[in-house]
Amino acid sequence: MEVLVFGAGSLGSLLGGLLARAHDVTLVGRDPHVAAVRADGLRITGVETLDTRPAATTDATGASADLALVTVKAYDTGTAARALATGDYGVVCSLQNGMGNEDVLADAVDAPVLAGTVTYGAGLVDPGHVEWRGRGTITLGAWRPADDAATAERIAAAFRAADLDAEAVGDVRRRLWEKLAVNAAINPVTALARVENGALTEEPLAGLARSAAVETAGVARADGVALADETAAEAAATVAGETARNRSSMFQDVSRGRRTEIDAINGYVADRAAVTDRAAPVNRALAALIRGWERGAGVGRSGDE
């Protein structure tokens, strides 16, 4: 299978490198990482050590593939969608944080769209070198009724052919909302408090994180997705405990003075709460605080977004 990975950061590079064991893979990213992969291949260390040689480019205009995996930050989804719209793809699959990405892609591309969640851990060490920090799972599902569920199973099988743990599911929207609850609880709280994930397993931060997760579950139900409060709260607490020594992606972004994915996480919850006539004061406050930091750091949304 020909696979194009749009967003060769840490996760995209890891997935692309692992998929290259069984498929024809092209990474789309930025230099100097792309230049290093093109020259010397991609080195993966950590859980396993291996060297792979996917193709790599900084420009996907007019490209084609059986599968396009989108792994960019949520605020770059529009850019990815416009680039993918110039090419020809059998399937487009989002493996991103936050919500709203799939709708942006579906509006732009003439292909079935899959949504997915992924728990593989990765970190970009140097150009051309990614660290595999933890085994995980990948779940995939059709985003719209018109996107045949059999397509999700076919893509999951392609992942499994490269020894990745993947399954096709029929409740992908609920899975995405549950993941959103986890991210809404962990990301902004750790970023604002400058703490590792484990700090959210005890007070004073545990209650705040739980409130964000429970609010998210309520908004999910108002949006037609059956997600129980306790399911969301337990998922957030479990992830915080299992990744106790990790720094969340939003904490890393804030530490490095980079834009965050707050709009697609807590901002999305607050926006959907308004549309469905629910209150989400905790998510709204967390979104406002992170957006305030972004504005002060000069890394917030640009005027054309």
Task: Please list the active-site residues.
Answer: 179
Determine the Cα–Cα distance for residues 101 and 80; give it in Å rounded to an integer. Answer: 10
- Nearest C-alpha neighbor of 167 from the set 175, 157, 176, 180: 157
- Nearest C-alpha neighbor of 78 from the set 280, 305, 230: 305
Contact partners, residue 150, CB within 8 Å, separation at least 6: none
**CA max distance for the chain:** 54
Contact partners, residue 72, CB within 8 Å, separation at least 6: 6, 7, 9, 12, 79, 80, 96
> Among positive and negative, which fits the CA dihedral 78, 33, 138, 97?
negative
